Chain A
């Protein structure tokens, strides 16, 4: 095998990596520097911005709201997505399966703006005031396709004959689900739910149209940015970043552990 160690490809890869990660690195960096302005050179290190962010009462409510939405999304999307996906995979081919799969994945390509505005119009028609509940519904719609997608990947390898084996050995349909299906797909559900939580945490567009005068972390940050760049935004963004990366890594780990068993 020929190994190409040309300089040009290396430089190109370098540029792409810098392009992808430089902004993120800058934010993380400035969340711990003393200089209140985003400028070089770095004068000293501090955690003041984190303290600042948390002492802001708006911030703690926004964080609570964000976590509540993430939790609801994880549970509802996880449960809905798992059920939907299991049903789709159990159909074993056929037009019905293709149709259902497309239908469940469609929200992923509908522009967020469209989802956000339609939901707002829809809830107004129902006479429901904007608020956290409306946003939660939006988050579930946005995360469901990704839950179905990750669940499907796992369920493709699910051995449905184990369910028949359980029935054959005397289990009722409910017992077969409780003893066989659920324990076997639990890691996939947890992984998918963590992903839904991650998607919910940084959702902005749909939230903004539906949350009214309440705030989530992304909505709060957007509001703060309009009043000028406050270094505590860097701290908030960094926290959000750590949380999201943590959730996605955990989601992958849970699934990996299962598939290597």
Chain B
């Protein structure tokens, strides 16, 4: 049953239809304002869908209030209770469930150890760093062992190092507990690193739902290939389709690619997507053995530390970016004539989207 949500005239969600398996780590990935939080809040019970139903473990919970649902939410900015200590924050859900004090204490210690905050139990939330506060929020949400944990951009306020560390820790905690996690983020790397499956959202819809590899290698739309990782896009017209191979006629030549899941017809306008790291670069303009190739002149070289991105102008209005290891780019300068090549299987053809 598709879920949709309207705020007055604003359509925040449109016919969302997705299912999460028990014990899975699923990310909702999309730009800010695309409806990720709204979807999460519908799952948590803070918003009622305008149409559609929510089921958790075969039970229709659409009309259930948040306190009845087997879900806990980790809020974007923690939402810790400022008048309680870390310990009291973590134990709050257990107190509501009338656990005995000794059981609560044992559980709090367990949770503090899980999020590596042993010894900080008696601090007030105002005495914690951003990362520590976020971990307390996580511990608080996990203490009552929810079957489903919902996380709304819990790492977005942290700096890069801490964020990367927390990504791995969160993932490890989820695997250890075997709980189902639904994780909201606008950071594609984060989603790729952590998830079993990713749902890409755009304008209140889920546009693709699949494993990180699937999404990265076989994006089903220009939007997805552009949003997840960097990509080169060349537009053209479908020339021929035979078996598993599709050929696209573009202004800079004909390029073949594996036939994707999308239904394309001969003569239709389409776009070829090519990841920069799949592009190889050879000095000079000679032909190469590899599948597809095109020549041009280097327009720009951008040093990025672990790699170098090189933009090659193949037409006055078309640049293809290649990503090389730093040492591979030694001796290249802007203006050099080069030939670019890539394996046929590295390219993907998809429908052109009306802008």
**Interface positions of A (Cβ within 8 A of B):** 159, 161-162, 164-172, 175, 179-180, 183-184, 261
Q: State the CA gap A169–B81 with chains docked (Å).
A: 12
Min distance, Cβ B127 to any Cβ of chain A, angstroms? 10
Q: State the CA gap A184–B141 with chains docked (Å).
A: 21
Chain B residues near A179: list those with CB within 8 A.
Answer: 81, 92
User: CB within 8 Å of A: which of B22-58?
Assistant: 44-46
30 A-B pairs, CB-CB below 8 angstroms? A159-B79, A159-B82, A161-B75, A162-B80, A162-B81, A162-B82, A164-B73, A164-B79, A165-B73, A165-B79, A165-B80, A166-B92, A167-B65, A168-B71, A168-B72, A168-B141, A169-B67, A169-B72, A169-B93, A169-B140, A169-B141, A170-B67, A170-B97, A171-B67, A171-B92, A171-B96, A179-B81, A179-B92, A184-B81, A184-B83
Q: Counting CB contacts under 8 A, is B144 at the interface? A: yes
Q: Which 7 A-B pairs have the closest CB atoms?
A: A169-B93, A161-B79, A165-B79, A170-B96, A167-B66, A170-B67, A168-B66
A159-B79, A161-B79, A162-B81 known; A168 and B92 CB under 8 Å?
no
A175-B96, A180-B81 known; A164 and B144 CB under 8 Å?
no
Number of residues of chain B lying within 8 A (CB) of chain A: 25
Chain B residues near A166: list those with CB within 8 A.
Answer: 81, 92
Q: State the CA gap A175–B124 with chains docked (Å).
A: 21
Q: State the CA gap A165–B144 with chains docked (Å).
A: 13
Chain B residues near A184: list those with CB within 8 A.
Answer: 81-83
The residue in A165, A167, A179, A183 that gathers the most chain B C-beta atoms within 10 A of its C-beta is A165
Q: State the CA gap A180–B93 with chains docked (Å).
A: 13
Q: Whose C-beta in chain A lies nearest to the C-beta of B152? A: A161
Contact B92 A164 (CB under 8 A): no
Min distance, Cβ A17 to any Cβ of chain B, angstroms? 38
Q: State the CA gap A161–B126 with chains docked (Å).
A: 16
Q: Counting CB contacts under 8 A, is B77 at the interface? A: yes
Contact A168 B82 (CB under 8 A): no
Contact B144 A169 (CB under 8 A): yes
Contact B65 A170 (CB under 8 A): no
Chain A residues near B126: list those with CB within 8 A.
Answer: 261
Q: Whose C-beta in chain A lies nearest to the C-beta of B73? A: A168
Contact A168 B67 (CB under 8 A): yes
Contact A165 B96 (CB under 8 A): no
Chain A residues near B83: list those with CB within 8 A.
Answer: 183-184, 261
Q: Whose C-beta in chain B lies nearest to the C-beta of A169? A: B93
**Interface positions of B (Cβ within 8 A of A):** 44-46, 65-67, 71-73, 75, 77, 79-83, 92-93, 96-97, 124, 126, 140-141, 144
Interface of A is mostly: helix
- Inter-chain contact total with CB atoms closer than 8 Å: 64
Q: State the CA gap A164–B78 with chains docked (Å).
A: 11
Chain A residues near B77: list those with CB within 8 A.
Answer: 161
Q: State the CA gap A168–B71 with chains docked (Å).
A: 8
Q: State the CA gap A161–B44 with chains docked (Å).
A: 13
Min distance, Cβ A163 to any Cβ of chain B, angstroms? 9
Partner of B93, one of A162, A170, A261: A170
Contact A172 B92 (CB under 8 A): no
| 9 further interface pairs, Cβ-Cβ under 8 Å (given A164-B79, A168-B72, A169-B96) | A161-B75, A161-B79, A162-B82, A164-B66, A165-B75, A166-B92, A167-B67, A169-B141, A179-B81
Q: Whose C-beta in chain A lies nearest to the C-beta of B67? A: A170
Chain B residues near A180: list those with CB within 8 A.
Answer: 81
Contact B124 A261 (CB under 8 A): yes
Chain A residues near B75: list those with CB within 8 A.
Answer: 161, 164-165
Min distance, Cβ B26 to any Cβ of chain A, angstroms? 19
Chain B residues near A175: list those with CB within 8 A.
Answer: 96
Q: State the CA gap A171–B45 with chains docked (Å).
A: 13
Chain A residues near B97: list those with CB within 8 A.
Answer: 170
Q: Whose C-beta in chain A lies nearest to the C-beta of B95? A: A179
Q: Whose C-beta in chain A lies nearest to the C-beta of B41? A: A164
Chain A residues near B92: list those with CB within 8 A.
Answer: 166, 169, 171, 179
Q: Whose C-beta in chain B lies nearest to the C-beta of A183? A: B83
Chain A residues near B66: list those with CB within 8 A.
Answer: 164, 167-168
Chain B residues near A162: list those with CB within 8 A.
Answer: 79-82
Chain A residues near B71: list those with CB within 8 A.
Answer: 168
Min distance, Cβ B93 to any Cβ of chain A, angstroms? 4
Q: State the CA gap A172–B65 with chains docked (Å).
A: 9
A164-B46, A165-B73, A179-B92 known; A172 and B67 CB under 8 Å?
yes
Q: Whose C-beta in chain A lies nearest to the C-beta of B137? A: A165
The residue in B65, B81, B93 that gathers the most chain A C-beta atoms within 10 A of its C-beta is B81
Chain A residues near B79: list those with CB within 8 A.
Answer: 159, 161-162, 164-165
Chain B residues near A161: list those with CB within 8 A.
Answer: 75, 77, 79
Min distance, Cβ A156 to any Cβ of chain B, angstroms? 15
Q: State the CA gap A127–B132 with chains docked (Å).
A: 64
Q: State the CA gap A168–B75 with chains docked (Å).
A: 10
Q: Whose C-beta in chain B lies nearest to the C-beta of A186? A: B83
Chain B residues near A183: list those with CB within 8 A.
Answer: 83
Q: Whose C-beta in chain B lies nearest to the C-beta of A164? A: B46
Q: State the CA gap A161–B71 with chains docked (Å).
A: 16
Chain A residues near B96: list those with CB within 8 A.
Answer: 169-171, 175
Q: State the CA gap A171–B46 with chains docked (Å).
A: 13
Q: State the CA gap A166–B67 with chains docked (Å).
A: 8
Chain A residues near B93: list those with CB within 8 A.
Answer: 169-170
Min distance, Cβ B55 to any Cβ of chain A, angstroms? 19
Q: State the CA gap A171–B126 with chains docked (Å).
A: 23
Chain A residues near B124: list those with CB within 8 A.
Answer: 261
